[in-house]
Amino acid sequence: MRTISGFLIFAALRSALAPSSPELHNRYGLSDVERFTVRPGITATVQYGADHLACQIKIELYRSIIGQDAQVSPLISSQEVSEILEEIVPAWMRGKEISKASFQSSACGVGTVNEFENVVIFRAMSPCRTPNVVQDSSSQIIFKRDICPKVAGLPHIEPRPSN
């Protein structure tokens, strides 16, 4: 009987040590960043604007927010990333394509930048790890809205004019 009572007290104390999502929202309000599991092991981290609509989204393999292993660059199937991008920002939502560019930072580091009327999509890829297969290390979506914070280090991207 004492063992069961001790276990219940321990379980109650253990769960009381970590705040829940509703508790944090009640205390601090809506979050400006959230992370969603979009596929097993693949996440989409979303930063919101003051209007609570997405401004930036980063798609990558799940990583702990503390103690990340900087030596390993996990890769995702480029086809899977394309499917996720189509779910999050379908072609009709992107608008007309304005420009397309690619760059190579090393023999195994390739990137593409596609600017559309409403968004800019960056994809970092590596064709080297698996022969004849291109994989993404991460992808970013930047929404072109006046309310969204500007991204440091990027060329100035004009927001879509308001109607």
Q: How many residues does the chain have?
A: 163
Q: Is residue 24 part of a domain?
A: no
pLDDT at position 153 is 57
Answer yes or no: is pLDDT of 159 > 80. Answer: no
Q: Which domain holds residue 72?
A: 30-143
Q: Is residue 110 part of a domain?
A: yes
Q: Is residue 4 part of a domain?
A: no
What are the tens digits of pLDDT across the range 27-83? 898 888 999 999 998 899 999 999 999 999 999 888 887 876 555 557 888 888 889
Q: Is residue 127 part of a domain?
A: yes
What pTM, to 2 d.p., does this model score?
Answer: 0.76
What are the tens digits of pLDDT across the range 145-154? 999 977 765 5
Q: How many structural domains comprise the chain?
A: 1
- Distance, in Å, from the CA atom of 72 to the CA atom of 75, rounded to the nearest integer, reads 9
Q: Is residue 17 part of a domain?
A: no
Q: Give buried/exposed letters for 28-63 (b at 16+ CB in 10 A, else e).
A: eeeeeeeeeebbeebbbbbbbbeeeebbbbbbbbee
The two structure tokens encoding residue 92? 């009709």
Q: Is residue 89 part of a domain?
A: yes
Average pLDDT over residues 129-137: 64
Residue bearing the bigger pLDDT, 159 or 143: 143
Amino acid at 161: P
From the list 54, 119, 57, the residue with the least C-alpha distance to 91 is 119
pLDDT at position 137 is 76
Q: Is residue 20 part of a domain?
A: no
Alpha-carbon separation of residue 11 from 8, 20, 23 (angstroms): 5, 15, 18
Q: Is residue 25 part of a domain?
A: no
The CA R_g of the chain, rounded to the nearest whole Å, is 20
pLDDT at position 129 is 59
